[in-house]
Amino acid sequence: MIVAKLNQIKDSIPENVSVVAVSKTKPVNDIEQVYNSGHLDFGENKVQELCQKYEALPKDIRWHMIGHLQRNKVKYIAPFVHLIHGVDSERLLNEINKQGAKNNRVINVLLQIHIAEESTKFGFSYDEAETVLLNANALENVRINGLMGMASYTDNTIQLKREFQDLNNFYNKLQSTNNWTTLSMGMSNDYRLAVSLGSNMIRVGSLIFGSRN
């Protein structure tokens, strides 16, 4: 059931678009089913849950931290995290760099851009992101691989389209100078639209694993 759902989603998008299976709140058993089908990318939004699942599951899983990350918790995921999607402050970026150095690795991250109209969603403005990029080259143990955005919680397609389109334009403007590979946008409800507007990484939870409590 879960695996069939994931494969259905994969069949509906171009091959260059990767799927992060968002397993937050879901049991280890569910993740094992998906892992056994050959899928390796999973997303969590809480550090403690991410660490527990990392401990319990095969070590070749690529763990994506997709939620808001507090600086004092970076150290727990720094040894193993595959990609941190939600970098939304320069201080957080510096802390990830520091923990990367301690673990002798380069940690891949995305800058989160605030594209939604709601004030509750985290992220940089476009101008702030450009400023961060100017200073980021000096950081040796963190690598900015692209951008992440969460659109407004709405079924207004015109608005969603505008938010995704703006992010895609900004990504395209800066992609080559920064050697970016990843534009992470699109969730269960809006991934088709996001992909049609340039996303190459979608983060899908409830559509794969069923609704969360």
Residues that bind ligand PLP (CB under 6 A): 22, 24, 45, 66-67, 150, 187-189, 203-207
Query: Which lies closer to ligand PLP via its Cβ, residue 141 or residue 196?
Result: 196
**Residues 146, 152, 157, 163: what is their CA dihedral angle, to the nearest 10 degrees?**
-40
Query: Which lies closer to ligand PLP via its Cβ, residue 41 or residue 139?
Result: 41
Task: Tell me how far, at minimum, the Cβ of 101 lies from ligand PLP, in Å.
Answer: 27
**Nearest residue by C-beta to ligand PLP?**
205
- CA 166 → CA 49, 108, 162, distances in Å? 33, 23, 6
Query: Which lies closer to ligand PLP via its Cβ, residue 51 or residue 185?
Result: 185
In 103-190, which residue ranges form alpha helices assigned H by DSSP? 126-136, 157-178
Specify the residue for token string 């673990």. 103
Query: Which lies closer to ligand PLP via its Cβ, residue 100 or residue 123?
Result: 123
**Residues 159, 160, 164, 165: what is their CA dihedral angle, to the nearest 10 degrees?**
-40
Specify the residue for token string 């995305």. 110
Task: Tell me how far, at minimum, the Cβ of 137 lies from ligand PLP, in Å.
Answer: 27
Task: Tell me how far, at minimum, the Cβ of 108 lies from ligand PLP, in Å.
Answer: 16
Give the residue among 31, 36, 28, 4 at the shortest CA–CA distance from 20: 31
Task: Tell me how far, at minimum, the Cβ of 152 lies from ligand PLP, in Å.
Answer: 13
Determine the Cα–Cα distance for residues 172 and 169; give it in Å rounded to an integer: 5
Query: Which lies closer to ligand PLP via its Cβ, residue 51 or residue 204?
Result: 204
Task: Tell me how far, at minimum, the Cβ of 69 lies from ligand PLP, in Å.
Answer: 11
